[in-house]
Structure 1
Amino acid sequence: MSAPTPQMHTGFLLYRRGRWAYVAAALAAISGLAYVLHHPHGAPNGGTWLGYALGTIGAALVVWLAWLGVRKRRYRSSGAPVQGWLSAHVYLGLALLLVGTLHTGLHFGWNIHTLAYVLMLCVIASGAYGVIAYSRYPSAITRHHAQGNRDAWLAEVFDLGEQALAIADRLGADVHRVVLRSNDRLRIGGNFLQQLRGIRPQTDVASLLPPMFRSKLEGERSQDLPATSTVMFMASRITRADKLRSGVGDARQLLDVLAQRNALVERINEDLRLHARMRVWLYLHVPLTLALLAALIAHIVAVFIYW
């Protein structure tokens, strides 16, 4: 299955005034009523006529819902638009939860049948997260991009790093060396888990202030300020420093540039976090769906051979 495009994240749940919600609700109601009225010999189970009927409906739903990914790529196909298929996918997937549960008769064990049921639950849960993600994150990403895009931000981070090095040259070799190390230690993105968790490695730039200025502020600086706040704090204190002292202007400019650079890095990491949280469900939903199809085939074969 493939991800829906951000443009369709709004409205697919209410496609045709929620037509598929009513269809799914009717299917769930009929299945539940039949289960309540059914009185088999012994406990309800998948081997009764109702169990077979619900199992057939459930298997058909699994195969049909899995077809959405193929259908979405057939751009020239006729029939319902992708938005309608997506609405059906969501609501009938929720109905499958009840149909599949009633099919089991609440009998579970360490076997392929229970494995298929557990995989079905995992697929439905990952799909539910997908609905939440595509209802929440695209609008957040749009708001986040109101001030630009990631490529422009990355280019600006590079330019600010070069500006910081040029200013550091005027403050001495030690400052240049520290700023160069600071640029090298910037972490944007990281691995997928870091993007997903939104890790924000911060570069403490307090040490970038030359000793002649740092000693002036050391007694007043809070030890608990985060990196960005430290930059702004020192910049405000330098503004009040002796304007006649050599290098104060360069030091203040350096801290301003580094503050802008750090803010951009934070913005890029936030953008990566939003995108990672929006697409993570696919890394689970698609493999779990394939595993469910395999387990479903094994379940059906086992039923016809041994039952």
Structure 2
Amino acid sequence: MAQTPHGSFLRHRGYRYLKLASLLCIVCILIYGWHDPQDGPNGGSWLGYTLGTVGAGLIGWLAWLGVRKRRYSSTAGTVKGWLSAHVYLGLALITVATLHTGFQFGWNIHTAAYVLMLMVILSGIFGIGVYVRMPTLITENMGASDRETLIDEILDLNQQALKLADPLGPEVHRIIARSTERMRLGGGLWAQLFGPLPPGRRAIDELRKIVVDEERAANAKTFDPQSSTVMFMAGELAQAKKRGEIAEKSRQLMELIGRRNALIVRVNRDIQLHAQMQIWLYFHVPLTVALLAALAAHVISVFLYW
């Protein structure tokens, strides 16, 4: 399988950090299996303190990614490398922290810190899936275009539709103006995450009805015996030409509105994918802050009361 740019951070330098994280987990498990304290495995043994120190160091270092990835002038490795390390060492933290507890849990600050750590890691796993999957979907949806270009094209199509509607009478102009006013791009948080309602086909249906009504009216018209055949045919030709122009411009309007609606769908889809790619951070970052606070309380309580 070809390596995609968006997924390359997981394969950074031949899975360097996956191998490092795996080695860390294996070493911790082997030492934990060898260690046999008198009162059983717990966080208060020398191994418990060692694993706790390693775990706390990992948490602090991993939290630094949020600062590091915004410091573009830093020479301490690449952002891609830090992100790869963040993923794999973050997963290794589950093993380190679990062995640190000695599988002893209770209703206390220590278990609360452990649970918060798991929540942070789980939200991070979700974020990995988002960052691997979403860029591909965004590219498939937008192609070589960007959102600003499509929005400009939508606005231009609106102006073209209004201009084309002007000669067709106030009813057609009202249909197009209402369709333009009801156009929705983006919206609130719910609309951004789950997508707004697709643009309606009401304008297209109403324009089609106008064309059909014109054709029905033409077919229903009968010959007036009091008028001459020449006059009747001249009037029919004039009306036919007028109806043909109306029908053709109405079809052009329907095509414009259809193209505009398709672009609206693409823009809203782009907004939705970007919103879904960012929303997990609104959980991951606050949970990380809460974890750091709980970790500080955990460490302080250990040194004060143990």
- With the shorter chain as reference, the TM-score category is 0.7 to 0.9
- CA separation of 1:43/1:180 partners in 2, compared to 1, >3 Å: closer, same or farther? farther
Would you say how many aligned residue pairs link Structure 1 and Structure 2?
Answer: 278
Would you say the 8 A contact 1:200–1:269 is kept in 2? no
Amino acid corresponding to residue 271 of structure 1 in structure 2: D
**In structure 2, what is the Cα distance between the partners aligned to 1:19 and 1:274?**
30
Would you say the 8 A contact 1:165–1:179 is kept in 2? yes
Per-residue deviation, 1:290: 1.3
- CA separation of 1:41/1:259 partners in 2, compared to 1, >3 Å: closer, same or farther? same
RMSD over aligned Cα atoms:
2.5
1:1-307 to 2 correspondence within 5 Å? Answer: 9-205=6-202, 206-209=204-207, 211-214=209-212, 245-246=243-244, 247-307=246-306
Per-residue deviation, 1:52: 1.7
**In structure 1, what is the Cα distance between the partners aligned to 2:169 and 2:40?**
84
Amino acid corresponding to residue 208 of structure 1 in structure 2: E
Would you say the 8 A contact 1:170–1:250 is kept in 2? no
Amino acid corresponding to residue 139 of structure 1 in structure 2: T
Would you say the 8 A contact 1:8–1:83 is kept in 2? no
**In structure 2, what is the Cα distance between the partners aligned to 1:106 and 1:89?**
25
Query: Structure 1 vs Structure 2: percent identity of aligned residues?
Result: 51
- CA separation of 1:282/1:169 partners in 2, compared to 1, >3 Å: closer, same or farther? same
**In structure 1, what is the Cα distance between the partners aligned to 2:145 and 2:134?**
17
Deviation digits for residues 119-178 of structure 1, max 9, x if unmatched? Answer: 111211122222222222223323433242111110111111122222222332122222
Per-residue deviation, 1:283: 2.0
Would you say the 8 A contact 1:185–1:203 is kept in 2? no
- CA separation of 1:163/1:53 partners in 2, compared to 1, >3 Å: closer, same or farther? same
Deviation digits for residues 229-288 of structure 1, max 9, x if unmatched? Answer: xxxxxxxxxxxxx98735211211111110001000001011112212222222222222
Would you say the 8 A contact 1:179–1:208 is kept in 2? no
**In structure 2, what is the Cα distance between the partners aligned to 1:195 and 1:103?**
42
Q: Give the TM-score, by structure 1 length.
A: 0.81
Q: Give the match for residue 222 of structure 1.
A: none
- CA separation of 1:77/1:157 partners in 2, compared to 1, >3 Å: closer, same or farther? closer
**In structure 2, what is the Cα distance between the partners aligned to 1:76 and 1:168?**
55
- CA separation of 1:48/1:210 partners in 2, compared to 1, >3 Å: closer, same or farther? same
Per-residue deviation, 1:116: 1.2
Per-residue deviation, 1:190: 1.2
**In structure 2, what is the Cα distance between the partners aligned to 1:196 and 1:67?**
28
Q: Give the TM-score, by structure 2 length.
A: 0.82
**In structure 2, what is the Cα distance between the partners aligned to 1:296 and 1:175?**
66
Amino acid corresponding to residue 131 of structure 1 in structure 2: I
- CA separation of 1:245/1:215 partners in 2, compared to 1, >3 Å: closer, same or farther? closer
Deviation digits for residues 204-245 of structure 1, max 9, x if unmatched? Answer: 32553265435589xxxxxxxxxxxxxxxxxxxxxxxx9873
Amino acid corresponding to residue 245 of structure 1 in structure 2: R
**In structure 1, what is the Cα distance between the partners aligned to 2:100 and 2:114?**
10
Q: Which has the larger radius of gyration?
A: 2
Per-residue deviation, 1:58: 0.6
Q: Which consecutive unaligned segments of at least 5 residues does structure 1 have?
A: 1-6, 218-241
Deviation digits for residues 81-127 of structure 1, max 9, x if unmatched? Answer: 22222221111001001111222223333322222112111211122
- CA separation of 1:60/1:171 partners in 2, compared to 1, >3 Å: closer, same or farther? same
**Structure 1 residues 279-288 or 263-272, which shifts more?**
279-288
**In structure 2, what is the Cα distance between the partners aligned to 1:243 and 1:306?**
96
- CA separation of 1:38/1:256 partners in 2, compared to 1, >3 Å: closer, same or farther? same
